[in-house]
């Protein structure tokens, strides 16, 4: 699950001190992922995008099923969608809680260079989804790399 750290990074999730809304996703594929593939207890990688470096920052746990993202109804919100309504919500979100912050960022370059991670959906050319599935093997490998001592130099 990707987010721009300038907007909401892993430190924001840590500061939340508990479950927080993963709000603002406005893409139908992601909406359907939330609806069809997310369950409470699922584990996820927290990935930083538009950052320096971009890459994997840590892990979190999903603590809710998908529900209507309240920001879509709020005219004051950046994520307001005038075409949505509480009667017919268009966008969903889930709650997540912080699990672990890696001692370093696993950069996109490092992910691409890794034989296991290089196949990740999020690395596919042209992939723009902020939420993408990953395999058990990719999850395990991400933990290994994230927990490894930062490279020198």
The residues that touch DNA, with contacts defined as CB under 7 A, are 2, 4, 26-29, 49-51, 54, 83, 108-109, 112, 124-130
Min dist CB 17 to DNA, Å, is 26
> CB 107 → DNA: shortest distance, Å?
8
Closer residue to DNA (CB): 49 or 63: 49
Nearer residue to DNA within complex by CB, 18 or 151: 151
Instruction: State the burial class of residue 49 (Cβ atoms within 10 Å of its Cβ: 0-12, 13-18, 19+).
Output: middle
Q: How far is the CB of 18 from DNA (least distance, A)?
A: 25
CA-nearest of 16, 15, 7, 107 to 57 is: 107
Structure tokens belonging to residue 130: 């902020």
Question: Which DSSP symbol is given to 116?
Answer: T
User: Which two structure tokens, joined as six digits, stand for 59?
Assistant: 């892990």
CB of 29 to DNA, least distance (A): 6
HSE (side-chain half, CA atoms, 13 Å) at 44: 30
Nearer to DNA, 40 or 85 (CB): 85
For DNA, the closer CB: 41 or 82: 82
């Amino acid at each position: 699950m990707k987010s721009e750290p300038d907007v909401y990074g892993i430190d924001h999730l840590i500061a939340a001190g508990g479950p927080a809304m993963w709000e603002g996703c406005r893409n139908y594929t992601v909406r359907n992922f939330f609806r069809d593939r997310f369950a409470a207890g699922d584990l996820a990688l927290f990935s930083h995008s538009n950052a320096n470096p971009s890459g994997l920052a840590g892990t979190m746990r999903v603590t809710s099923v998908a529900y209507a993202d309240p920001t879509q109804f709020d005219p004051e919100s950046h994520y307001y969608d005038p075409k949505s309504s509480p009667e017919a919500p268009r966008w969903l979100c889930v709650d997540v809680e912080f699990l672990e912050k890696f001692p370093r960022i696993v950069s996109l370059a490092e992910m691409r260079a890794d034989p296991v991670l290089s196949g990740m959906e999020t690395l596919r050319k042209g992939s723009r989804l902020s939420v993408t599935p990953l395999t058990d093997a990719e999850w395990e490998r991400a933990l290994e790399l994230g927990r490894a001592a930062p490279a020198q130099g």
